[in-house]
Amino acid sequence: MGPGPINAHPRVLRAMSAPLVGQFDPAMTEYMNEVMAAYREVFRTANEATVLVDGTSRAGIEAALVSLIEPGDRVLVPVFGRFGLLLTEIAGRCGAEVHTIETAWGTVFDEQEIIDAIHRVRPALVALVHGDTSTTMLQPLERVGAVCRDEGVLLYADVTASLGGNAFEQDAWNVDVATAGLQKCLSGPSGSAPISLSPAAVAVLDRRRSVEAGIAAAGATVSQARIHSNYFDLAMILDYWGEQRLNHHTEAASMLYAARECAALLLEEGIDAAVERHRRHGAAMLAGLKGLGLTVFGDEAHRMNNVVAVNIPDGVEGDAVRAAMLTDFGIEIGTSFGPLHGKVWRVGVMGYNARRDAVLTTLTALDSTLRRAGFAAPADAGVAAALAVYAEEAR
């Protein structure tokens, strides 16, 4: 019950144990096509270029940035937590001229602030996080997307933590490139990064496209603007997933099975229903934690559905409580990074764990653990508050 990874859905684990096939087996090429079609629905996009990057979510982020950014490009990164800082770090390594704007952790930007910065900086790319689990904040980005489209600026969004648990509409919001992972609201393990690129983003890749020496036709030339990574060269990765099936890496078959099953689960449930499930159980967890006497960290109006941050009470040792939750109850809750370390706990309600029994069991365990740590609310107040939310919603 931390901010991710979460328990994988049993169906995903089962899918991963299927026999392996290579990437040129007709069965596998069919699975790859199915994955592309499924993730178009998950991202709510018509983008042809919708594939998996093999690696954790960060591999998707790095592939997007190293493939889109040419050294010297101006990139604007609005930072509201740890993962925004990660985007600045990766964009910097790609040779970008990085411009940042910042807002306090636990808040989001008014979209107009980002739009003003776009007008000031005139970037080639805006890179931002949609839901940042480090602060639990969800950044609205519809208006930013419309401005980027009108001004010919590419918009990249890291939707790893938000996708499947919070509304996201890649095409309607004009997001050129979105990348995700499986281990948050999609109920899978880490190790595969779904990505979708708009035609405008693919046009950038086309200018930088080159074919690897070992498989290129005689006399092929290398683009001056060649992408500075081979493994994360999205032009090559698209050629690999596309009609040509140009050889690149060996597809991580078990992870592809996992990604395919994660999408199938989400689409069977329905994306709107899954978002509503995260909202409902997130609201119950929020009420339950308050019922335990804890105060919420950050702007509640912009909280992600799938994770709650609470302030660690004075006099309570945060890491000792987390350790007791794990050893005594087998329940993991999250600590925090950077400026929030030792100050807040983060409790996830995501993917397979966005369930009533998981919420109530966690609250019961925390009630007991906090009591022994010397911080006591009226007995059962956490569970009662969560149950009240469920009862209210059932009406």
Residues in the site for ligand PLP, rule: CB under 6 A? 4, 56-58, 83, 129, 132-133, 158, 160-161, 181, 184, 190
- Residue 288 or 351 with smaller CB distance to ligand PLP: 351
Nearest approach in angstroms of CB 32 to ligand PLP is 21
- Residue 12 or 363 with smaller CB distance to ligand PLP: 12
Nearest approach in angstroms of CB 58 to ligand PLP is 3
Quote helix, strand, coil % in the chain, to nearest 5.
45, 15, 40
- Residue 73 or 158 with smaller CB distance to ligand PLP: 158
Per residue, the 3-state secondary structure of 155-200, as one string, reads EEEECCCCECCECCCCCCCCCCEEECCCCCCCCCCCCEEEEEECHH
- Residue 158 or 233 with smaller CB distance to ligand PLP: 158
Token digits of residue 29: 């090429």
Nearest approach in angstroms of CB 62 to ligand PLP is 9
Nearest approach in angstroms of CB 372 to ligand PLP is 30
In the block, tokens 């009108």 appear at 150
- Residue 133 or 336 with smaller CB distance to ligand PLP: 133
Q: Does residue 262 contact residue 43 with C-beta atoms inside 8 Å? A: no
Nearest approach in angstroms of CB 174 to ligand PLP is 20
- Cα–Cα distance, 191 to 76 (Å, whole number): 28
My answer on whether omega of the bond before 5 falls inside 30° of 0, hence cis, is: yes
Give the distance between the most distant pair of CA atoms in the chain: 77
- Cα–Cα distance, 392 to 372 (Å, whole number): 31
Give the DSSP per-residue string, 219-243.
T----TT--S-STT-HHHHHHHHST
- Residue 55 or 123 with smaller CB distance to ligand PLP: 55
Nearest approach in angstroms of CB 259 to ligand PLP is 13
Helix (H) or strand (E) holding 363: helix 356-372
